[in-house]
């Protein structure tokens, strides 16, 4: 039997990259998946890929930083699925610049999407998790939230705060058998990194002990571990999937 049989997962940022890989990995392991993306085109595309694997899928176009939109989507999702077992908060953006050149808009956009979005979606499903006395919450943070990075103070702040949020949620909900953990990907081959120049990539590679960039599937496998039976006794943790960049 597949490890997520009869489970229903909500994955934000499911339209591409890490979110898409997680949605497809969960579907391959028996889960039905709610695919959330900013655009209807991307969310429906991901949902169709899940359906092609023989699983049920629902597509929702949602601005994760908009509280009213998230609340409405949460209600509709629960009406469609009747329960949610796994929530993956993956939606994220970057607006890189040096601190002295960073606009307030770029700061707010990153914090609202990466941090507030996770708060809003977690809040939308927490009551259901508590009522059923089960649930897995997986927040996709970043090694940048652990180590910082020049030109990314907004992104680093959002991901560091997401880790603190995860630990607090874990403590708050543990008595109801609900787990909350964070993944901290390192440099992963996605659309976000595809346009980086070779000199930059060579410099980054020097900081990775395994001497290779990760793949979205590496993060999906880590998410599967936290969502599946193996993650039953794991909560409040940050799992760095980074080729050894950050060693505590």
Return the SS3 of 195: coil
* Catalytic pick among 155, 169, 235, 239: 155
Residue 188 CA to residue 236 CA, distance in Å, equals: 23
CA geometry: angle 217, 156, 117, nearest 5 deg: 70
Residue 56 CA to residue 31 CA, distance in Å, equals: 8
Nearest to 48 by CA among 81, 40, 153, 78: 40
- The 10 Å Cβ neighbour count of residue 151 is 14
Residue 39 CA to residue 12 CA, distance in Å, equals: 11
Return the SS3 of 114: helix
Helix ranges restricted to H, the chain: 17-28, 40-52, 67-81, 104-111, 117-132, 144-147, 153-173, 191-194, 198-205, 216-227
Residue 225 catalytic?
Answer: no
For residues 23 and 10, is the Cβ–Cβ distance under 8 A?
A: no
CB-count burial class (<10 Å; 0-12, 13-18, 19+) for 25: buried
Per the document, the length of the chain is: 248
Residue 90: what are its φ and ψ, rounded to 5°?
-115, -20
**Catalytic residue ranges:** 155
């Amino acid at each position: 039997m597949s490890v997520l049989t009869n489970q229903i997962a909500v994955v934000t940022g499911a339209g591409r990259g890490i979110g898409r890989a997680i949605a497809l990995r969960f579907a391959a392991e028996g889960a039905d998946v709610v695919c959330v993306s900013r655009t209807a085109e991307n969310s429906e595309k991901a949902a169709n890929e899940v359906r092609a694997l023989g699983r049920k899928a629902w597509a929702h176009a949602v601005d994760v930083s908009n509280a009213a939109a998230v609340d409405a989507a949460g209600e509709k999702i629960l009406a469609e699925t009747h329960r949610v077992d796994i929530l993956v908060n993956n939606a994220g953006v970057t607006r890189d610049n040096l601190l002295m050149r960073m606009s307030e808009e770029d700061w707010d956009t990153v914090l609202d999407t990466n941090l507030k979005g996770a708060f809003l979606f977690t809040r939308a499903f927490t009551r259901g998790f508590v009522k059923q006395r089960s649930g897995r919450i997986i927040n996709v943070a970043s090694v940048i939230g652990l180590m910082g990075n020049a030109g990314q103070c907004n992104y680093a702040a959002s991901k560091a705060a997401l880790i603190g949020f995860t630990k607090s949620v874990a403590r708050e909900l543990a008595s109801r058998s609900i787990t909350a953990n964070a993944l901290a990907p390192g440099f992963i081959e996605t659309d976000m990194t595809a346009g980086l120049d070779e000199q930059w990539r060579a410099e980054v590679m020097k900081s990775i002990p395994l001497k290779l960039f990760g793949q979205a599937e590496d993060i999906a496998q880590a998410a599967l571990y936290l969502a599946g039976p193996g993650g039953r006794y794991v909560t409040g943790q940050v799992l760095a999937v980074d080729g050894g960049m950050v060693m505590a």
